[in-house]
Amino acid sequence: MTTDTHNPTPDKAANPKDAPDSFEGDVLQAAPLAPGAALGSHTISRVLVTSDSGYTYLANDGATVVQEYFPLQFAVRDTDNTSLLLCDAQFNTDYEQGLTEFLRLARVLSQLDHPGRIAHYQENDGAAWYAVELPVRASLADLLQPGQRLPEETLRAVLYAAITYLDAVHETGGLHLELTPERILIADEDQLLICGFSTDRFHYPPDDVHTEHDFRAPELASYRGQLGRWTDYYALGAILYQAVCRSVPVDSLT
Residue 166 · residue 176 · CB < 8 Å = yes
Residue 73 · residue 52 · CB < 8 Å = yes
Distance CA(188)–CA(111), nearest Å, equals 22
Domain range for 148: 3-245
For the chain, where are the alpha helices, taking DSSP H only? Answer: 92-110, 140-143, 152-170, 218-221, 229-245
Position 7 scores a pLDDT of 44
Is residue 59 a part of any domain in this protein? yes
Chain-centre distance for alpha carbon 106: 12
Position 210 scores a pLDDT of 61
**Residue among 166, 38, 186 nearest 108 (CA):** 166
Residue 33 · residue 98 · CB < 8 Å = no
∠ CA 64-68-70, rounded to 5°: 160
Is residue 254 a part of any domain in this protein? no
Is residue 8 a part of any domain in this protein? yes
Q: Kindly list the averaged pLDDT for each block of 10 residues, start to end, along the chain of length 254.
A: 39 36 66 96 96 96 97 93 93 94 94 92 91 96 82 91 92 91 92 93 68 83 89 95 85 71
Half-sphere exposure of 8 (CA within 13 A, CB side): 23
Position 2 scores a pLDDT of 37
What single-letter amino acid sits at 210? H
Fill in the DSSP letter of residue 249: P
Position 10 scores a pLDDT of 35
CATH number, domain with residue 67: 1.10.510.10
The neighbouring-strand residues paired with 120 are: 131
Q: Count the neighbouring beta carbons within 10 Å of the beta carbon of residue 41.
A: 11
Is residue 250 a part of any domain in this protein? no
Distances 57 to 149, 199, 226 between C-alpha atoms, Å: 27, 18, 32
Please provide residue 201's backbone torsions phi and psi, each rounded to the nearest 5 degrees: -85, -5
Position 200 scores a pLDDT of 82
Position 150 scores a pLDDT of 85
Q: Is the pTM of this model over 0.75?
A: yes
Number of independent structural domains in the chain: 1
Distances 7 to 98, 162, 183, 236, 253 between C-alpha atoms, Å: 16, 24, 24, 20, 19
The neighbouring-strand residues paired with 38 are: 43
